[in-house]
Amino acid sequence: MIKTMIVDDEPLAIEILEAYVSQIPQLHLVAKCSNALEANRILQLEKIDLMFLDIEMPLLLGTEFLKSLQNPPKVIFTTAYPEFAVQGFELNAIDYLLKPISMERFVKSINKLFEKNEFDLRPEIEKNTEYIFVIADKRFIKVNFSEILYIEGLKDYVIIRTDQNKIITLQTMKSLEEKLPASKFIRVHRSFIVNLNRINAIVGNAIEILEKGQNKHIPIGNNYKDEIEKMIEKRKL
């Protein structure tokens, strides 16, 4: 779990972020603080992995507070003032969220965190769950691993194809791949991940999957052939 703290002097902003954090299974909210001094006390007592940090606060600006820390956690800045953006990124922040913060923008920010591979999340996911939550149509949708046929990447979003429908979610293939258990899914192309249990056959340079009663052929990328061959060798009789 990623131990998370929210630092903001606006109660409504804290409430919104708390609701968003509660929807991400990998995040665990440890503390909520209304100013930098309170946050500093928490950091003395707890190991915090991620801090949502407002910039414009009384007593001490969020940027100045971050500069004062010797070993700061990962930081996602939150503010109503876009002029602080450059300074935020100069301090190596993961992201910079402009208020009011939408759920879509929040999730995109969290995906940036996951893409940096700062936290080892796959073992936890593989051990504890048989599903993931993804954001689509402005809500979190539970997707069971067993229902996924394959996943197709299209630039900044992916399409999850299931038995019943398709789910379009705003994130990258890399970030989604890291949330999937390696025992159930395999990357076969820069644009495709397939469910191992849904593979019917391997025909030449393609994976064959039954989709809505018809055979769907998914290309195998040159960079992924060795991994496919290892998978076949491990599972063949």
Ramachandran assignment for 212, one of left (phi > 0), alpha (psi -120 to 50 degrees), beta (any other): left
Q: Residues of CATH 2.40.50.1020 domain(s) within the chain?
A: 134-235
Listed in sequence order, the residues at least 6 apart from 160 whose beta carbon sits closer than 8 Å to its beta carbon are: 134, 143, 148, 151, 166, 167, 168, 169
Q: Determine the residue type at 13.
A: A
Whole-prediction pTM = 0.59
Q: Classify domain 134-235 by CATH architecture.
A: Beta Barrel (2.40)
- The pLDDT, as a whole number, for residue 124 is 47
The secondary structure of residue 102, as a DSSP letter, is P
Mean pLDDT, consecutive 10-residue stretches, the chain (237 aa), reads 94 94 89 96 95 92 93 93 73 90 88 72 54 77 92 89 90 83 92 94 92 93 89 70
DSSP secondary structure string for all residues of 118-181: -S--HHHHHHH-SEEEEEETTEEEEEEGGGEEEEEEETTEEEEEESS-EEEESS-HHHHHTTS-
- The pLDDT, as a whole number, for residue 237 is 46
Fold of 2-115: Rossmann fold (3.40.50)
Q: Residues of CATH 3.40.50.2300 domain(s) within the chain?
A: 2-115
- The pLDDT, as a whole number, for residue 24 is 86
